[in-house]
Amino acid sequence: VKTVRTVADLRAELAPARRGERSIGLVPTMGALHDGHLSLIDRARERCDVVVVSLFVNPAQFGPSEDLSAYPRDEARDAALCASRGADVLFAPPLEEVYPAGFASEVAVTGGLTEPLEGAARPGHFAGVTTVVAKLFNMASPDVAFFGQKDAQQALVIRRMARDLDFGVEIEICPTVREPDGLAMSSRNAYLEGAERGRASALRRGLAAAEAAVAAGERDSATLVAIARAEMTSAGIEPEYLELVSADTLAPMTHLNGAEALVAVAARVGRARLIDNTLLRAPEQGNETGRT
Q: Would you name the residues annotated as active-site residues?
A: 37
3-state secondary structure of 96: helix
CA-closest candidate to residue 129, choices 101, 148, 102: 148
* Residue 51 β-bridge partners: 25
CA distances for 42 relative to 20, 88, 149, 229, angstroms = 22, 12, 15, 34
**Closest distance between ligand PAF and the C-beta of residue 148, in Å?**
7
**Closest distance between ligand PAF and the C-beta of residue 56, in Å?**
6
**Cβ atoms of 134 and 108 closer than 8 Å:** no
The length of the chain is 292
**Closest distance between ligand PAF and the C-beta of residue 233, in Å?**
28
Quick one: 143 or 231, whose CB is closer to ligand PAF? 143
**Cβ atoms of 210 and 281 closer than 8 Å:** no
**Cβ atoms of 282 and 216 closer than 8 Å:** no
**Closest distance between ligand PAF and the C-beta of residue 131, in Å?**
9
First to last CA, the chain: 51
Quick one: 135 or 199, whose CB is closer to ligand PAF? 135
Q: Which residues contact 166 (CB under 8 A, 6 or more apart)?
A: none
Rounded to 10°, the helix 125-140/152-164 angle is 50
Quick one: 53 or 242, whose CB is closer to ligand PAF? 53
Quick one: 53 or 225, whose CB is closer to ligand PAF? 53
3-state secondary structure of 190: helix
**Closest distance between ligand PAF and the C-beta of residue 41, in Å?**
13
Quick one: 118 or 243, whose CB is closer to ligand PAF? 118
Q: Show the DSSP H helices in the chain as ranges.
A: 7-19, 35-47, 75-84, 95-98, 118-121, 125-140, 152-164, 195-200, 202-215, 221-234
Quick one: 30 or 225, whose CB is closer to ligand PAF? 30
DSSP state of 188: G
> Which residues contribute to the site for ligand PAF (CB under 6 A)?
28-30, 58, 61, 129, 132-133, 151, 154
What is the distance between the alpha carbons of residues 100 and 95, in angstroms, rounded to a whole number? Answer: 8
**Closest distance between ligand PAF and the C-beta of residue 271, in Å?**
19
